[in-house]
Structure 1
Amino acid sequence: MRYRSRFHVAVKTSTNPTKLSDNNLRKVALKEARATSTLEACVYLPHLIGVCLDEPPFKLVIQYGGDITVLKATQERALSRVIPWMKVCREMVEGVKAIHRSNIIHNDLKDDNVLLRKNMAFAPLIIDFGKTQELGATKPQRKPPVGKLQQ
C-alpha cells in the first residue's frame, strides 16, 4: 500500500492471543504508537503515519519495513551469504542507540523484530515497539510473600 503515492506503508493490526479486554488492547496499541512517534529520526527506525483506535482490531499505519526478517535471512543460505552481516550489526547498534537517546527501551529486540531492506543494501529496520518502556520508568513492585519460610 502506498501513502500519498510517495512511499509504501504497512498496517499492523492488533491481535489478541492473550484475550485482553478491548480497553487493554487499545492501551497496548496506543503505547506502541506513542513509543514509535517519539523515536528520533533515524533510518533504522520506522515512522508512524497514523493510528486507528476507534474499534477493534486496532491498527497502526507505519512506514513499510522491508522484505525479510533477520531470522528468515539467516535461515536462507543463499541470502545469508550475500548479506554484509557486520554492516547490518553496526547499523542495528546505531538503531538501538537512537532508541535509547529517545529515552525508550525496546524490551523485545530479537531476530524477527528486525527487517532487512534489499533496496537499501540490507539496511535494518527495528520494529515492534509494543513492549517498550520509558527509561527511568519503574515497574510496579511485587508485594513480598506473607508468612514464614519453612525449613
Structure 2
Amino acid sequence: MTNRDELRTRPMAMPPQWHDLTIGADWGTRLLGGNVGLARAVYPVDPAGGGTWIASAPSGLVLCILNANPIPPGVLPPSNTLLSRGVIIPRLMSAAAGMAGQAALDVMKLLDGFELARFAPFRLIGVSMSARPGQQGFVVIEASWNRAELTA
C-alpha cells in the first residue's frame, strides 16, 4: 500500500493495473541504441497529471518518486514550462526494460538522459534484484534532483 505525498484535494488515483510500455519510445530510443520492444509495469495513475509515483515491473524493479523540498529551495521556472514528475517512472520503466544489468543501477544512467531542468525537485528510490552471478540480495538506489544537481 502506498500514499502520495500530495494535497488532500487532489483527485483519488486510479487503482494499480498493468500498463504496456514501448521500450525505446521517446527519449529512450537514443539511450537504447534504437532497440524497440514492449515492456510491462504495474502502477496506479494520477488522473490530474496522468503519471504515477510508484511502479513495479515483472523483472522485480520497483521505483518510487517523492516530491523534494531542498534547503535552500531552488528557483522554479513558470509552472507551464515544468513537466509532471509523474512521467518519470513510466519512462524509466520503459527504458530500463531494454537494458541488461542491474536495473536499479541502470536507472541512474537513464536519469542522466532526462532534461532534468524541466522537473521540480524530487527524490527517486529504486530497488531491484542483484544481477551479478552467484550473488543474492537487492540493489537499492536513491537519487535526488534539487534543480542544480543530480546526486546518488
Give the TM-score category using the shorter length.
Answer: under 0.3
Which has the greater radius of gyration?
1
User: Per residue, is there more helix in 1 or in 2?
Assistant: 1
What TM-score, normalized by structure 2, do the two folds share?
0.27
User: Per residue, is there more strand in 1 or in 2?
Assistant: 2
